[in-house]
């Protein structure tokens, strides 16, 4: 026979339990999971360590999943729509032009490993472009100084 537990709980506790139950479903996509964790952290003050223990997931899993909640809405929608996996999205966290990169990943149907390589390549080329701009600026200053003498 099923066991029923009756407890007097307020609406806040009821919502908290509902979120905890919902994020343990197996059919959640990465963004649904991330937003559920984010809700528990922000609304109910759960620490990542506490979530890890309650949900039986590693703290690094909780941390990495929470990062997805900080991605732009356009990327979150790509995850929700199944165009990007959580693995793809994790490499786009805190990356400039991540929406542009996400579109490339989707359009070229890149694997997670290929997506990680693309992001690293873009970061290197971005740094090289900045250095090239800095060198050009310094050369212009040098030319200006020489002409002023």
Q: For residue range 105-144, what is the model confidence (pLDDT) as tens digits?
A: 999 999 999 999 999 998 888 777 888 888 988 998 988 8
What residues in the chain have per-residue pLDDT under 70?
1-8, 11-12
- DSSP 3-state assignment of 6? coil
pLDDT attached to residue 148: 85
| Count of C-beta atoms within a 10 Å radius of residue 56 | 8
DSSP-derived letter for residue 71 is S
pLDDT of residue 6: 60
pLDDT attached to residue 70: 93
DSSP 84: S
Q: Are 40 and 19 in contact (CB under 8 A)?
A: yes
Q: What pLDDT is recorded for position 127? A: 76
For position 22, what pLDDT does the model report?
73
Task: Mark out the alpha helices in the chain (DSSP H runs).
Answer: 11-22, 30-44, 48-55, 59-68, 73-80, 86-90, 98-107, 112-148
Cα–Cα distance measured from residue 10 to residue 109, given in angstroms and rounded to the nearest whole number = 47
Q: How many CA atoms lie within 13 A of 27 on its CB side?
A: 0
Is the entire prediction scored with pTM above 0.75? no
């Amino acid at each position: 026979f099923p066991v029923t537990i009756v407890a007097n709980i307020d609406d806040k506790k009821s919502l908290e339990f509902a979120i905890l139950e919902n994020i343990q479903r197996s059919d959640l996509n990465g963004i649904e999971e991330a937003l559920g964790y984010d809700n528990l952290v922000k609304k109910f003050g759960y620490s990542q360590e506490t979530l890890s223990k309650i949900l039986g997931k590693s703290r690094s899993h909780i941390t990495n999943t929470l990062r997805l909640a900080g991605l732009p809405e356009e990327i979150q929608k790509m995850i929700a729509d199944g165009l990007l996996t959580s693995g793809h999205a994790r490499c786009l966290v805190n990356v400039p032009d991540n929406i542009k990169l996400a579109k490339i990943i989707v359009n070229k149907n890149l694997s997670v490993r290929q997506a990680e390589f693309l992001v690293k390549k873009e970061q290197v080329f971005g740094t090289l472009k900045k250095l090239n701009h800095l060198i050009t600026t310094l050369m212009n200053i040098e030319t200006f100084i020489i002409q002023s003498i």
